[in-house]
Structure 1
Amino acid sequence: MTDAASNLTLLGATVWMGAQSFAFAADVDVDHADGKKRKTSDHKDAGQHKTVPGYEQVEVIGQFRNRSPKFTASILDTPKSVSVISRQILDETASHTLADALRNVPGITMGAGEGGNPVGDRPFLRGQDAQSSTFVDGMRDVGAQSRETFNVESIDVIKGDTGAISGRAGAGGAIVINSKMPKLANFIDANVGFGNADYKRATFDGNWKVAPTGAFRFNLMVDDEDKAGRGPTHFERYGLAPSLSFGLGTPNRVTLMYYHMQNFDTPDVGIPYNNPTFRARTDGATPSMVTGSGAPVSVPFDTWYGLKARDRNNDGIDMGTLRFEHDFSPNLHIRNSTRYSETKQDDIWTMPDDSNGNIYYGYVYRRMNSRISTFDTATNQTDFYGTVHLLGFKNSFAMGAEFTREQGKNDTYAAFVNGVNVTSGTNYTRCATALAFSSGTCTTLLNPNPDDAYSASIRRAGNPNSTRFDTKAVYLTDTITFLPQLLGNFGVRLDNVQSTFRSAGAEYGRGDNLFTYQGGLVYKPAPNGAIYASYATSAIPPGNSVGQGSDDISLGVDRTGNVGSVLKPEQDRTIEVGTKWSLLHNRIFVAGALFQIDASDFKITTATGGIANGGKKRTRGGEISINGQLTKWWEVSGGYSYLDARLIEYGGSGASAGVMNGRHAPNTPENSLSLWTTFRPVENLKVGGGVYYMSRIYGTDSPTAPKFVPAYWRFDFMASYRFLKHYTLQLNIQNIANTRYFIQAYTTHYALQAPGRTAMVNMNVHF
């Protein structure tokens, strides 16, 4: 990926130079919302762009504007940290899932599922939960799922509070997934791959010009693979994404998109920590293990505590989008997007539960976590944006309105042996009877058998709950050019959110008005550089994840009988200073930032066991990044992040009150590094490698019973060879050293292990 390619990807243009994407990092206004085809030399700001010696003249191909209009300046002139994962990086690193893709941005971790939902993507940005701050083509996508990348053109990672841009949540930033869109061109990309761990994958990406201003694009994916070194873990999924556009290159454009993905997985299960809760057995047994440091237990690499006869993830998503765009003039545009999506989950998943002290005696209770969920979203969003001159200043503005209804309905499964619910009967949870083992409910710590028979009968628990979230919002953002060397960026947003939670025949509701804002100044000492300072806020109302994440019970009743509707929204702010530079004739983009995030009023448990808005958390850190081409044949992309996230006020009941104050926040590594580089020694051969490092991550930094996953290094390799003009053969080896490391740290019971060494060979055909 070049910085330029990432810049134009964010701006929604596609730039081609032979077979490779390339652009100019200092580009301020390359985005052509009218979709017209023109050379950059014809652009009104062409004076900023210099042709790089040895490179062809670049040309912008007409297509829909894919980047959110809420960004009113280029990456260079935006007073925020923005990272872009291009399609080129996704392909070179063989990143097939969102979790794989986000590895390329330092400072991001994937948290373990909570709130009764053990599966699905739960990214953390700068130590803040971003599950509810994930967007597809500018519209929020909360539904829990493990996202694929076969229909992804690029991924924008916006760091720091984004309330004024995206509404509720966004304390650490937002993740914006940009879908592949139709283009006025004819091409076919087909890929088929094989590898170890029974890896088999095929994708198809076809685009056809069906009219002078119309195009049709169709993406297809089938994937069938194990998880290297992780026992019976298996992923089987397919997806398709047709899209149709008319009016490309004209002032009136319309597109219709549909996305479907279905998976039938045998999920991976965790490895328990080595310091579980201790409960002495009453049968006279002697413990076989001593208390450890809080790291995962030391067991063989392929240890898997699940049950093949029981565990499954059968999830699916359907998403339809209709978008209209109109240009009033070259400088004024409007866009309206309507979407309906439905996400379904049918999951049964084994948690290696350590809460009953079984591990000390060499046993593991196979706790059954489950989810039966339907989550639907209906959204209409209108954006009016462009450039105007007011009082002698240039204003690049965007204003709009959003109306969204999100609704989730959740139930679980229950398991019974001889009429006894095994999740509550101590004869099963304590692993102290022969029936606990003969039924498959318990197993051994060191030698679990995934083929154990499971004699329990499974049926729906029949105790569903539902959450509904209605949002009405208006916003305004503006970049003002005070002087050629001085720009101001300002934004405000007002959200009215109404939420309702229903459970066990009871109903709780609340309403909140969320006012968020941002402001920043950008000083440009040179056309290719910027120094900025910014202040931004966000707000997180109770029930924010709409039953899909960790706060789905926030609207209910706490143990003291207080209704959650009395809680206030969490308030967050980010102060950030940084600099960005486009160097080496705009081939390299470098950036650095220092920041502080303060979170306040998040819910905590009080000393008496109630719930109150007393929480405070602070994250201080810095990051640097580099993207682009050091030479014509050498590309580099990556960065380093330092995060010091501390719980300032964390509450706690009884003797636990105040114990966690000053401790590390969960899911936040102090140090992380991501570096990907490729080199082309001859015209048709490219070799590359990746280096990834992450320091210790805490599930909890409790002073008495910490839970954490150790630091790790990971190394990847890639080689691709292009032959016969249309064919490319690519080899990827991920985790070359077969390092055992962990990618998720649950707060209490387990950590999720990463795959072992994975090798795959893919053949790509491009016409």
Structure 2
Amino acid sequence: MKQTSKTSIRDIVSTREAIALATLLSVAHSTAAEPAKKEEAGNQKKQGQDGAVLDEVTVSATRSNPYNPQRVQSQKFTAPLVNTPQTISVIPKEVFNQQGAQGLADVLKNTPGITFLAGENGHVGGANSMNIRGFEASSNIFIDGVRDNGNYGRDIFNVESVEVVKGPAGDNGRGSTGGYINLATKTPQAESFYSGTAAYKFDETDANDHQRLTLDMNQVIENGPVPGMAFRLNALLQGGGVQGRDYAENNSWGLAPSVAFGLGTETRLTLAYQYWEQNNRPDIGFPGSAVPDTTSPVRPGGYVDRENFYGLTSDFDDVTSHTIYARFEHDFNDRLRFNNLTRYSLTDREAIYTVLGAFTAPDTVGRSRQAFYRETETFTNQSNITAEFETGSVGHTFAGGLEVAREKAHNPRDFVTASLGVPGGTNIYDPDTGTPVAADPTYNWVDDITVDTVAIYANDTLKFNEQWQASIGTRLEYFDAEARYKQEASGIVTRYQSDDLIFSGKAGIVFKPKENGSIYAAYGMSALPPGASSLSNDNGSRSTGGPTVPGGPLTGNNNLDSDVQKSYNYEVGTKWEFFDKNLTTSLAIFRSERENVSVGPNDPVTGEPTAYGDQVVTGVELGASGYVNENWMVFGGVSYLESENQDGNDLTFNPDWTANLWTTYRFPIGVTIGAGARYTASTAARVDAASGAATATLPESLIFDAMVSYELTKNVTLRLNVNNLTDEFYARTVNTAADSRRAYLGESRTYTLSADWKF
């Protein structure tokens, strides 16, 4: 395991400045080596070879609209988004780059119905632990269509778009009820370009400023050994503080080279690698009792500075991630295509951090130290056939395939508190950041979990005529999980094994009253077998779910003999494209159900649930994305949810209203202005089962953002982002303790100066 010493941004720069310098020099060299631009055609007549004057020919092309994508990355979807009977939000890089986003959590502010959780037991607070439409979805994050296990915040420097698919996640196998998230990474293109962003971020508090440099270069290789070659490199270097928070740091760097062969030909191969490293001093939260409108029985009598850091300067949260990717594609003809994707990832996260306890009047807040360690490894191979054909008068767009995967996690847990150093309580107004430096933590257990899956799937869009279509999809998956639990003190190893055959599917009917619109009704189902979330859950620091004695039982839904959770989704909706298909709007009414959720006490001998319950969420969601006219772009959505569990109470972290809007307008003088708003209604973080009353509450928030940019030249744009324009003091999330003891604050009013360049 790693040593506990921290790596500062100065250390990162000093050890990697050569890489950054070499990268920038390569960009400059490549730009200088670019052939001179062809002379633009003027408004003049051209002469033919015989000297005759020829009529001028004007060639025009439809402007691409990155703000209104027509399809998702996955070839499992067999219809354009406007004809897909399901709610899907595609957030392109053009949107989140304008906003100065850095991580996945920043991007997900652009879609309604998502609520972040507080990071219990090692989860990254407010980053990778989330609900979608009221249901926990931390184990349903995918990259390029492959499940990305692990408990870490994800950077977006190598991300082309983020796709949020609502409803049961059966497209990719076992899944939750609310939906899943897919990150589509950047790959080589058939046109050379060189771009990047240098950003400087600061606020009005004493927090350290933050710097971020990204590079995205794509070079077509002329006269290569095979036709259609291109090389792409994405790079990241960032470091500095967290706005509004003393001492916290966010440092990382990454490189993502890729090469493609055969672009523009019938046979294509793409090879890619990504390395990303994080060295953070984590922000472990702020006393919830000092946040207005939280549910807290005891509150401090004086003002508590929002900048106060309650962790220790020796806290750290380190991640290293390696990904290898290969995609082979072949077009047999215009109607039959094959592709194969192989992806391997290895992610290692280790953290020691200080956690807030209860506030005790008049001025003391409790603290304890925790540790987290998990190594996750995933190998996946997917083969897919896409075909277009007819059966009689019915047209088909078919996609089917085979997927095999092995997912593994190595997870020391149940740390010995004394091995971390005990910080004790601290003054809520003037916290002590003293440093009981810990050696490598001691763990009582080491868990090794392996999940093997083999799945076949088939999806088909049937076109009956110009007005009527149907979409059908099925997936049959064999799930085999093995768990090995070793008690360190005795050396005793206990093994568990479980396997299930999982069926998931969806069906929808689509009516198109006009070519630019659709009305649909759809049904979907998915399943979650026992232990399916063990690779990404939050049990890395404690014994929750795992055996507490050798040979002891697994408990609740982790018990391998518990019932398979089933999810069902019913949805009716409509989608319309306006302004020459540049703007898409959507409306969906839905009902999501989950059954076989462990709710009662577990059997003391077997660990099996003694009672199960059901959970239901019904709601309405509206969305809009694209151009209103040539200069005006909008991207936004509104969601209303109602929920109920087996007790008749609301589900936690399930606000009834959430909404987001981002809009920009470009003036002829090269100035673009943008504005955004994000609203989250108050929601319960903990509910008393008997009374239904909220004993912990996440207060409502309404946050405004603004942006202005100026095209300094045709290649360089200067941009200023101001987030939290009104400097609201708000919590992004709170933990589930009855006294709301820990809150994660949203950033203070923050300014980001950026220079975007592209050649």
For 1:732 and 1:59, how far apart are their aligned partners in 2? 25
Gaps of 5+ in 1: 1-53, 277-288, 424-438, 650-660
Distance change in 2, residues 1:300/1:739 (3 Å): same
Equivalent of 1:485 in 464, 467, 470: 467
Instruction: Specify the code of the residue in structure 2 equivalent to 1:576.
Output: E
- 1:401 paired residue number: 402
- 1:667 paired residue number: 653
**1:122, CA displacement in angstroms?**
1.8
For 2:582 and 2:84, how far apart are their aligned partners in 1? 19
Distance change in 2, residues 1:690/1:563 (3 Å): closer
User: Superposition RMSD on alpha carbons, in Å?
Assistant: 2.8
Over residues 741-763 of structure 1, what are the superposed CA-to-partner deviations in whole Å (9 max), with x where a residue is unaligned? 11223222522111111111111
Matches within 5 A, 1:551-566: 554=545, 556=547, 557-558=552-553, 564-566=559-561
Matched, 1:215 2:230: yes
SS in 1 for 2:537: coil
Over residues 306-350 of structure 1, what are the superposed CA-to-partner deviations in whole Å (9 max), with x where a residue is unaligned? 0112x1001111000111111111111111111110010110122
For 2:269 and 2:284, how far apart are their aligned partners in 1? 44
**1:158, CA displacement in angstroms?**
0.8
Matched, 1:460 2:449: no
Gaps of 5+ in 2: 1-58, 203-207, 488-492
For 1:58 and 1:677, how far apart are their aligned partners in 2? 19
Equivalent of 1:495 in 466, 469, 477: 477
- 2:749 paired residue number: 757
For 1:216 and 1:160, how far apart are their aligned partners in 2? 37
SS in 1 for 2:513: strand
SS in 2 for 1:715: strand
Q: Which stretch of structure 1 is more off in the superposition, 699-708 or 382-391?
A: 699-708
For 2:295 and 2:284, how far apart are their aligned partners in 1? 23
Instruction: Specify the code of the residue in structure 2 equivalent to 1:388.
Output: F
Instruction: Specify the code of the residue in structure 2 equivalent to 1:303.
Output: N
Instruction: Specify the code of the residue in structure 2 equivalent to 1:589.
Output: T
Matches within 5 A, 1:116-131: 116-118=122-124, 121-131=128-138
Distance change in 2, residues 1:601/1:715 (3 Å): same
Over residues 473-494 of structure 1, what are the superposed CA-to-partner deviations in whole Å (9 max), with x where a residue is unaligned? 1111111001210110111111
Distance change in 2, residues 1:516/1:115 (3 Å): farther
- 1:443 paired residue number: 426
For 2:616 and 2:340, how far apart are their aligned partners in 1? 38
Matches within 5 A, 1:282-297: 292=297
**1:173, CA displacement in angstroms?**
1.1
For 1:85 and 1:295, how far apart are their aligned partners in 2? 41
Distance change in 2, residues 1:502/1:637 (3 Å): same
Over residues 501-557 of structure 1, what are the superposed CA-to-partner deviations in whole Å (9 max), with x where a residue is unaligned? 222321111111111111100000110110000000011112222332147855755
Instruction: Specify the code of the residue in structure 2 equivalent to 1:634.
Output: W
For 2:510 and 2:428, how far apart are their aligned partners in 1? 57
**1:686, CA displacement in angstroms?**
0.5
SS in 2 for 1:143: coil
SS in 2 for 1:566: coil
> What is the aligned residue count?
664
Equivalent pair of 1:274/1:296 in contact (CA under 8 Å): no
For 1:682 and 1:294, how far apart are their aligned partners in 2? 53
For 1:750 and 1:304, how far apart are their aligned partners in 2? 12
Matched, 1:349 2:353: yes
Matches within 5 A, 1:284-323: 292=297, 299-309=304-314, 311-323=315-327
Distance change in 2, residues 1:443/1:245 (3 Å): same
Matches within 5 A, 1:398-437: 398-412=399-413, 414=415
SS in 2 for 1:464: strand
Identity in percent: 30
Over residues 660-695 of structure 1, what are the superposed CA-to-partner deviations in whole Å (9 max), with x where a residue is unaligned? x12221222110110001011224110101011101
Equivalent pair of 1:188/1:205 in contact (CA under 8 Å): yes
Distance change in 2, residues 1:637/1:464 (3 Å): same
Instruction: Specify the code of the residue in structure 2 equivalent to 1:527.
Output: E
**1:578, CA displacement in angstroms?**
0.3
For 1:297 and 1:408, how far apart are their aligned partners in 2? 46
Instruction: Specify the code of the residue in structure 2 equivalent to 1:472.
Output: V
Equivalent of 1:202 in 208, 213, 222: 213
Matched, 1:679 2:665: yes
- 2:43 paired residue number: none
For 1:563 and 1:239, how far apart are their aligned partners in 2? 35
Q: TM-score, normalised by structure 1?
A: 0.82
Over residues 16-68 of structure 1, what are the superposed CA-to-partner deviations in whole Å (9 max), with x where a residue is unaligned? xxxxxxxxxxxxxxxxxxxxxxxxxxxxxxxxxxxxxx98534799xxx9821
Over residues 415-438 of structure 1, what are the superposed CA-to-partner deviations in whole Å (9 max), with x where a residue is unaligned? 66xxx5689xxxxxxxxxxxxxxx
- 1:542 paired residue number: 530
Equivalent pair of 1:519/1:534 in contact (CA under 8 Å): yes
Deviating 4+ runs (over 6 angstroms)? 293-298, 559-563
Equivalent pair of 1:401/1:473 in contact (CA under 8 Å): yes
- 2:38 paired residue number: none
SS in 2 for 1:349: strand
Equivalent pair of 1:272/1:296 in contact (CA under 8 Å): no
For 1:493 and 1:190, how far apart are their aligned partners in 2? 41
Distance change in 2, residues 1:185/1:680 (3 Å): same
Matches within 5 A, 1:42-81: 56-58=61-63, 67-81=73-87
**1:583, CA displacement in angstroms?**
1.4
- 1:691 paired residue number: 677
SS in 1 for 2:464: strand
Distance change in 2, residues 1:722/1:603 (3 Å): same
**1:472, CA displacement in angstroms?**
0.7
**1:170, CA displacement in angstroms?**
3.7
Over residues 360-390 of structure 1, what are the superposed CA-to-partner deviations in whole Å (9 max), with x where a residue is unaligned? 4632222212112111001111111121112
Equivalent pair of 1:106/1:641 in contact (CA under 8 Å): yes
Distance change in 2, residues 1:754/1:745 (3 Å): same
Equivalent of 1:269 in 281, 284, 288: 284
Equivalent pair of 2:469/2:509 in contact (CA under 8 Å): yes
Q: TM-score, normalised by structure 2?
A: 0.83
**1:569, CA displacement in angstroms?**
1.4
Instruction: Specify the code of the residue in structure 2 equivalent to 1:606.
Output: P
For 1:209 and 1:696, how far apart are their aligned partners in 2? 51
For 1:218 and 1:162, how far apart are their aligned partners in 2? 32
Over residues 233-266 of structure 1, what are the superposed CA-to-partner deviations in whole Å (9 max), with x where a residue is unaligned? 1100001111100011111111101111101001
Matches within 5 A, 1:466-615: 466-503=448-485, 504=487, 505-550=493-538, 554=545, 556=547, 557-558=552-553, 564-606=559-601, 611-612=609-610, 614-615=612-613
For 1:458 and 1:699, how far apart are their aligned partners in 2? 33
**1:560, CA displacement in angstroms?**
8.5
Matched, 1:138 2:145: yes
